[in-house]
């Protein structure tokens, strides 16, 4: 049996992490048997990040490698029907969303004091009260240092939004009049994009990014379609 290990549900999403939501979507689409284990502590994972998937062949870390594993072992092609050009565009789209927009969302959640109050409550409330503040403060400090190292944390709120807004418009323009990014059916990129935009919108206190996505009727319709197809249990 495959076991997908993810962060628990939060803010109306099936997991606090868009990478975990994407992995859930892939497992559902692959049609294989699996169970889900939730943990708030990634330290024992091979790369100290979630999601991971325990399989008969060992532990697979990273949603990208989980995709490779499923495509090689479950006979699925998440980009079925896409030509080479669209497959290339899909890969670039996934990288843009996961390696750029994602970090802006982390800034909005962990850097913004108003959002941090919600994140602290949602992620750390099971830690005993006397040490909760210390542990959550330490983890926040580490998260902000990583954002600084990665670079996104060095931009002002306005600069960050200006960068991410261009990416979001590129997503909207790629969808165009189609139901999904590359056609009538969701492909691998939709799993990343729907999970990531949903994470942005689910951020408790509105930011420029969440407002921009929420107020865009084409994107809102796309996300609704995507959630209904990919993880209907969380669709409104």
The residue ranges that bind ligand GSH (CB under 6 A) are 17, 19, 42, 48-51, 62-64
**In angstroms, rounded to a whole number, what is the distance separating the alpha carbons of residues 194 and 221?**
11
**Helix (H/G/I), strand (E/B), else coil: 102:** helix
Least separation in angstroms between CB 7 and ligand GSH: 7
Least separation in angstroms between CB 103 and ligand GSH: 10
**In angstroms, rounded to a whole number, what is the distance separating the alpha carbons of residues 86 and 88?**
5
Least separation in angstroms between CB 49 and ligand GSH: 4
Name which of 42 and 153 has its Cβ closer to ligand GSH. Answer: 42
Least separation in angstroms between CB 22 and ligand GSH: 7
User: Which residues have a Cβ under 8 Å from the Cβ of 100 and sit 6 or more positions away?
Assistant: 152, 163, 164, 167
- Contact by Cβ (8 Å): 102, 49: no
Bin 176: left if φ > 0, else alpha if -120 < ψ < 50, else beta: left
Handedness of CA 209, 210, 213, 216 (dihedral sign): negative
Name which of 16 and 181 has its Cβ closer to ligand GSH. Answer: 16
**Helix (H/G/I), strand (E/B), else coil: 76:** coil
**Bridge pairing between strands 52-55 and 34-38:** unpaired
Name which of 81 and 149 has its Cβ closer to ligand GSH. Answer: 149
Number of other CB atoms surrounding residue 142 within 10 Å: 11
Least separation in angstroms between CB 17 and ligand GSH: 3
Name which of 72 and 178 has its Cβ closer to ligand GSH. Answer: 72
Tokens 């949603």 identify what position?
Answer: 63
Name which of 20 and 171 has its Cβ closer to ligand GSH. Answer: 20
**Helix (H/G/I), strand (E/B), else coil: 35:** strand
Least separation in angstroms between CB 95 and ligand GSH: 10
Name which of 42 and 111 has its Cβ closer to ligand GSH. Answer: 42
């Amino acid at each position: 049996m495959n076991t997908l290990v993810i962060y628990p549900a939060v803010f109306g999403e099936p997991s606090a992490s868009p990478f975990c939501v994407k992995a859930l979507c892939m497992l559902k689409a692959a049609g294989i048997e699996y169970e889900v284990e939730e943990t708030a502590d990634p330290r024992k994972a091979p790369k100290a990040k979630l999601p991971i998937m325990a399989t008969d062949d060992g532990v697979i870390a990273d949603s990208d490698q989980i995709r490779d594993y499923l495509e090689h072992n479950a006979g699925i092609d998440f980009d079925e029907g896409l030509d080479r050009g669209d497959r290339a565009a899909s890969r670039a789209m996934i990288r843009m969303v996961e390696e750029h927009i994602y970090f802006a969302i982390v800034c909005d959640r962990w850097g913004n004091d108003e959002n941090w109050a919600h994140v602290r409550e949602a992620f750390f409330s099971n830690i005993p009260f006397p040490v909760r503040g210390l542990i959550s403060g330490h983890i926040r400090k580490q998260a902000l240092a990583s954002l600084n190292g990665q670079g996104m944390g060095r931009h002002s709120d306005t600069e960050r939004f200006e960068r991410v807004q261009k990416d979001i418009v590129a997503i909207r323009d790629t969808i165009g009049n189609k139901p999904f990014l590359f056609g009538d059916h969701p492909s691998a990129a939709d799993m990343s994009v729907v999970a990531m935009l949903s994470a942005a919108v689910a951020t408790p206190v509105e930011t420029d990014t969440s407002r921009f996505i929420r107020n865009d009727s084409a994107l809102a319709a796309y996300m609704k379609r995507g959630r209904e197809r990919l993880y209907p249990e969380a669709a409104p």
